[in-house]
Amino acid sequence: MWKTIFRRLLLMIPQIIILSILIFIIADFMPGDPFTGMIDPNIDPAQLEAQREAFGLNDPLIVRYFRWAGNALQGDFGRSFNFQQPVTAVIGGRMGNTIRLSLLSTIFTYGIGLPLGIMAGRYNETVFDKGVLVYNFVSFAIPVFVLALLMVWIFGYNLNWFPSRGSVSISANTTWEIWWSRLYHLLLPSITTAILGTTSIIQFLRSEIIDAKVSDYVKTARSKGVPIQKVYTKHIFRNASLPIASGFGFTIVALFTGSIFIEQIFNFRGMGFLFLQSINTRDYSVIFVLVMFYGLMGLIGTLLSDLILMAVDPRIRID
């Protein structure tokens, strides 16, 4: 197994290199650069040209790529044009927000999805089950930006229950106040994410449980006299959660990547927001690092999922 993990990790190196080359080529096709139409009046055109020169934007693609790659290997990912700071500092500043948001979203997602899925499977064909199914179809069909805007409009502006933008209130001073304010700002976006994120959890759990109910091992357990409650918690749930476990690696990875839509609509300064903003302003150095990061996270997510699957299901072996 360790050999496999090691091999998979090794394989990531060429994958990452190919990814980086692709991003460089595609980014080169984007019209404009960070200095096109810089909305600032105090700049002399000669100064813009000097900046382009200083950032090496006038060099050929190959030169730029190798310079970037060389620096990146030494941990220097360049400076953000937009923020006038090292890219690592810019991204580092956003990651905390994103992790907090994703963590809470994940908790809510499983908090809603697991019980609903289990109950719907156990009591299938009841009114409750049908209600869950309807919820499932609706949440699957609604695009995230529609629900997010609705939530902001209803709970943020009309009812004034939650703050409608930002990650922390400017008037929070003490540590306790700051953490409370952060949590308060997280609630609405994370509940929104959770409402839309439960579809597959509910669907998989429900159908697995329905299948399992009539399977031989359940019948055996029941005929041995195991109480029904115990059959569900000990036997069925464990088997039914396999498909969910397989996605768990990605869930962990998603903690770091954030959601572009949610962050944009809730004006929440996380990685997704940064990504969109960087694309719009052609902040190449940030875009490169973010895409590489997302790519790497995707690869790690796959690996993690395989490992988790192996841990929960002893029948599965990767060699």
Partner 1 sequence: MSNKKKYSMLASTAAVAFILAACGNGDTADTDDNGVDENDATEVDEDEDADDNGESADGPQPLEFETRVENEGEAIDGGTMSIGYVSDSPFTGIFSWELYTGNPDATVMQYTMGSLVDVDENFQYTDTGAATIEVDRDTNIVTITLQDDILWHDGEQLTAGDIAFTHEIIGHPDYPGVRYSADMQRIIGMEAYKAGEADSIEGITIVDDLTLEIEYESVGVQMLQAGGGVWAYAAPRHYLEDIPVAELESAPEIRENPIGFGPFKVDNIVPGESVSYSRFEDYFRGTPNIERLELETVPTSTAVAAMQNHQFDLFLSMPTDQFENFENIPGYSILGRQENAYTYIGFKLGEWVTEGDGIDQPQNVPDPDAKMANVNLRQAMAYAIDNDAVGSRFYQGLRSRATSPIIPNFADFYNDELEGYPYNPERAQELLDEAGYEDTNGDGFRETPEGEELVINFASMAGGDVAEPIAEYYMQSWRNIGLNVQLLDGRLHEFNSFYDRVEADDPAIDIYQAAWRTGSDPTPDGLYSRYAPFNYTRWATEENDAFMDDMLSEEGFDVEWRAEVFRDWQEYFMEELPIIPTMFRNEVFPVNNRVGAYDITYGENPDTDGAGAHTWYLTDDNRATE
Binding residues vs partner 1 (CB under 8 A)? 30-33, 36-48, 50-51, 54, 82-86, 89, 93, 149, 152-153, 156-157, 160, 164-171, 173, 265, 267, 269, 277, 281-282
Q: Please check whether residue 32 is in contact with residue 282, taking contact to mean a CB–CB distance below 8 angstroms.
A: yes
Length of the chain, in residues: 319
Range list of H helices, 198-283: 199-213, 216-223, 228-230, 237-240, 242-257, 260-265, 271-280
DSSP readout, 42-90? T--HHHHHHHHHHTTTTS-HHHHHHHHHHHHHTT---EETTTTEEHHHH
The nearest distance, CB 318 to partner 1, in angstroms, is: 43
Residue position matching structure tokens 């429900």: 206
Cβ count near 83 (within 10 Å): 19
Comparison of 45 and 314: residue with beta carbon closer to partner 1: 45
Comparison of 180 and 250: residue with beta carbon closer to partner 1: 180
The nearest distance, CB 28 to partner 1, in angstroms, is: 13
Comparison of 14 and 45: residue with beta carbon closer to partner 1: 45
The nearest distance, CB 103 to partner 1, in angstroms, is: 20
The nearest distance, CB 229 to partner 1, in angstroms, is: 48
* Nearest-angstrom CA–CA distance, 241 and 120: 14
The nearest distance, CB 105 to partner 1, in angstroms, is: 20
The SS3 call for residue 171 is coil
Comparison of 79 and 122: residue with beta carbon closer to partner 1: 79
Comparison of 152 and 209: residue with beta carbon closer to partner 1: 152
The nearest distance, CB 133 to partner 1, in angstroms, is: 33
Residue position matching structure tokens 């994370």: 190
Q: Please check whether residue 280 is in contact with residue 36, taking contact to mean a CB–CB distance below 8 angstroms.
A: no
The two structure tokens encoding residue 312:
């929960």
* Nearest-angstrom CA–CA distance, 291 and 19: 9
Comparison of 96 and 131: residue with beta carbon closer to partner 1: 96
User: What is the per-residue burial (b if ≥16 Cβ within 10 Å, else e) of 252-277?
Assistant: bbbbbbbbbbbbbbbebbbbbbbbeb
The nearest distance, CB 182 to partner 1, in angstroms, is: 11
Comparison of 163 and 295: residue with beta carbon closer to partner 1: 163
